[in-house]
A and B are shown apart, each in its own frame.
Chain A
Amino acid sequence: MTAALDSRTERWWTTASVGLLLPIALLSAWQVLGTAVGTPRTPLPLNIVKAAAAMIASGDLPAALLQSLGRVFGGFLLAASLAIPLGLLMGYSRSVERNLDPVVETFRPIAAIAILPLAILWLGTGTSAAVAIVAYAAFFPLIVNAVAGAKNVNPTLLRAAATMGLDRMTTIRTVVIPAALPSIGIGLRIAMGVGWTAIVAAELAVGAKAGGGGSGGIGQMMFVFYAYSIELNRIIVCMIAVGLVALILDRMLRAMMRRLMPWAIQ
């Protein structure tokens, strides 16, 4: 037993060291070259780390991230409360699907960010527009996957429910919904990713149009660093933060799915 463990940790170390080769090489080259030939404005790895420390310590970065996350969750819940029941219904009932699908499919190719100007027109440049954009963006993956989940319920299971004498509502509750959960889970993950990208885009665009004030959030912070204070190191800190949050959200959702639905292999 000990021998196997050692070989596993040993393999982890070799994988880790091989994997770190390229990033370390690139970062070192960047630092050296940037210091040698760059201007004072050139972003450098060490300066980025320093900027990150400063932004975290001052609370600016966490505050902006939390603001954006709050909007994402708000929009997400809004979209989910509409998309999941609707999607399940569409997947279960052919006639409902036939009537609603054209509307969904017509708007699906129109990205959330394209709707942004319209949202600003209707709701102004504040949080409500941002939440609306996230909701719109998250809506489509959620509904598409809910429909697929309900549609792909093994018909044998439905027949088994019928032979057991279950009525429609009970069948939906006890067979369709659990069977559709893995698909819904996939939809949640995709929607979360899409929603997070959408909020960053929305805040960026609003920041670009509404000037320095108002909407807040990580996207806006990035734009301010570009347009007003030209702090490239800080922009990069924001970029990394955006990526990290995306990663963490995805992992969290995946872990949640594994907990709730151990039978579904994603």
Chain B
Amino acid sequence: MGDSVITPPKLRLDGVGKRYPVAGAPDTVAVDNFSLDVRQGEFLVIVGPSGCGKTTVLNVLAGLDTPTSGTASIDDRVITAPGPDRGVMFQDYALFPWQTVHGNVEFGLRYGPAGANLDQAAREQRVRHTIQLVGLTGSETKYPHQLSGGMRQRVALARLIANEPEVLLMDEPLAALDAQTRIVLQDEMLRIWGQDRSPSERRTVVFITHAIDEAVFLSDRVAVMTAHPGRLKEIVDIPLPRPRGDATRALPQFQALTQQIWSLIRDEAYRAAAA
């Protein structure tokens, strides 16, 4: 899997930096000189200790944050604002509490440009299909406060993909779940992403997690960040075969990759815990 030279990367971060002024102290540098290309159809995971700026990087890609130096671009267009081409999923899902499951999933199609070309019937069909895809059929009329954590995560995912964004940006989406639900949803995530399809047929995903095993299980490549300031330390290729499942976790290569990544951030993690 060499770098493609002919087609431009789907996403490009070029020397991205973000610093915040602090009263009476030197600026806080959240991210420093971060450069990374994300290929079309790739599942890229960013891993790093707390405070390494991974969320800032994601926010820059989403257009919710502007970098103080460098640029972020999608398909060679500079990112300046959020948009439906880059869907975002936050750690605590941020579901609209006054909307049902159906209302949440439908929201972007109803009020945003993603649904501009759809008449009501087509929109309804897409909503139903998406709800079915994430396995929530039968819960359409429930409210978020009536759902379990795993179900809320599915709603957030459904809301995200109903708009059919080209890029999915996810900030620790599985962090709030218990360990068992997490494993189930990791499998679901790969299925929904379409891990058995070719790269040109599937969406590009940038996924943040602090769980290394999750990173190795899901990704094509893992970008390891270090903290203070947030920098890209190394990119690790994950050549594990797809489709992946329970058997993948038992592979010796899986262990080796996990160890390799852990050794990259171990010192950081210990330092962060002592701070």
> Within the complex, are A and B direct neighbours (CB within 8 Å)?
yes
A8 at the interface (CB under 8 A from B): yes
CB within 8 Å of A: which B13-42 residues:
23-24
A22 at the interface (CB under 8 A from B): no
Q: Which residues of chain A are near B24, meaning CB under 8 Å?
A: 1, 4
- A9 CB to closest chain B CB, in angstroms? 12
1/0 contact string of A6-37 vs chain B (CB within 8 Å)? 01100000000000000000000000000000
Across the interface, name the chain B residue whose C-beta is closest to A2.
Answer: B24
Within the assembled complex, what's the spacing in Å between the Cα atoms of A4 and B24? 5
Within the assembled complex, what's the spacing in Å between the Cα atoms of A1 and B23? 8
Within the assembled complex, what's the spacing in Å between the Cα atoms of A18 and B24? 25
Q: Which residues of chain B are near A8, meaning CB under 8 Å?
A: 23
Q: Which residues of chain B are near A4, meaning CB under 8 Å?
A: 23-24
Across the interface, name the chain A residue whose C-beta is closest to B25.
Answer: A4
What is the interface of chain A mostly: helix, strand, loop, or mixed? helix
Interface size grouping (class) on chain B: under 10
Within the assembled complex, what's the spacing in Å between the Cα atoms of A1 and B24? 5
Q: Which residues of chain B are near A7, meaning CB under 8 Å?
A: 23
- B208 CB to closest chain A CB, in angstroms? 32
Q: Which residues of chain A are near B23, meaning CB under 8 Å?
A: 4, 7-8
- B53 CB to closest chain A CB, in angstroms? 24
Across the interface, name the chain B residue whose C-beta is closest to A7.
Answer: B23
- B28 CB to closest chain A CB, in angstroms? 14
Q: Which residues of chain B are near A1, meaning CB under 8 Å?
A: 24
- B24 CB to closest chain A CB, in angstroms? 4
- A11 CB to closest chain B CB, in angstroms? 10
Within the assembled complex, what's the spacing in Å between the Cα atoms of A8 and B22? 12
Within the assembled complex, what's the spacing in Å between the Cα atoms of A7 and B24? 10
- B26 CB to closest chain A CB, in angstroms? 11
Within the assembled complex, what's the spacing in Å between the Cα atoms of A1 and B22? 11
Across the interface, name the chain B residue whose C-beta is closest to A5.
Answer: B24
Across the interface, name the chain B residue whose C-beta is closest to A3.
Answer: B24
- B19 CB to closest chain A CB, in angstroms? 16
- B27 CB to closest chain A CB, in angstroms? 12
Within the assembled complex, what's the spacing in Å between the Cα atoms of A7 and B21? 12
- B221 CB to closest chain A CB, in angstroms? 42
- B187 CB to closest chain A CB, in angstroms? 40
- B22 CB to closest chain A CB, in angstroms? 9
Within the assembled complex, what's the spacing in Å between the Cα atoms of A4 and B21? 10
Within the assembled complex, what's the spacing in Å between the Cα atoms of A105 and B244? 63
CB within 8 Å of A: which B229-270 residues:
none
- A10 CB to closest chain B CB, in angstroms? 12
1/0 contact string of B149-165 vs chain A (CB within 8 Å)? 00000000000000000
Within the assembled complex, what's the spacing in Å between the Cα atoms of A4 and B25? 9
- A7 CB to closest chain B CB, in angstroms? 8
Within the assembled complex, what's the spacing in Å between the Cα atoms of A1 and B25? 8
- B29 CB to closest chain A CB, in angstroms? 18
- B268 CB to closest chain A CB, in angstroms? 30
Within the assembled complex, what's the spacing in Å between the Cα atoms of A246 and B24? 36
- B198 CB to closest chain A CB, in angstroms? 55
- A89 CB to closest chain B CB, in angstroms? 36
- A256 CB to closest chain B CB, in angstroms? 29
Within the assembled complex, what's the spacing in Å between the Cα atoms of A7 and B22? 12
1/0 contact string of A140-156 vs chain B (CB within 8 Å)? 00000000000000000
Within the assembled complex, what's the spacing in Å between the Cα atoms of A2 and B24? 8
- A1 CB to closest chain B CB, in angstroms? 6
Within the assembled complex, what's the spacing in Å between the Cα atoms of A8 and B23? 9
Within the assembled complex, what's the spacing in Å between the Cα atoms of A7 and B23? 9
- A165 CB to closest chain B CB, in angstroms? 37
1/0 contact string of A153-167 vs chain B (CB within 8 Å)? 000000000000000
CB within 8 Å of A: which B171-194 residues:
none
Within the assembled complex, what's the spacing in Å between the Cα atoms of A25 and B13? 50
- A5 CB to closest chain B CB, in angstroms? 8
Across the interface, name the chain A residue whose C-beta is closest to B22.
Answer: A4
Within the assembled complex, what's the spacing in Å between the Cα atoms of A180 and B4? 66
Within the assembled complex, what's the spacing in Å between the Cα atoms of A184 and B132? 53
- A167 CB to closest chain B CB, in angstroms? 42
Within the assembled complex, what's the spacing in Å between the Cα atoms of A8 and B24? 10
Across the interface, name the chain A residue whose C-beta is closest to B23.
Answer: A4
Within the assembled complex, what's the spacing in Å between the Cα atoms of A184 and B219? 55
Within the assembled complex, what's the spacing in Å between the Cα atoms of A57 and B61? 66
Residues of A within 8 A of B (CB): 1, 4, 7-8
Nearest 5 Cβ contacts at the A-B interface = A4-B24, A4-B23, A1-B24, A8-B23, A7-B23
5 contacts across the A-B interface (CB closer than 8 A):
A1-B24, A4-B23, A4-B24, A7-B23, A8-B23
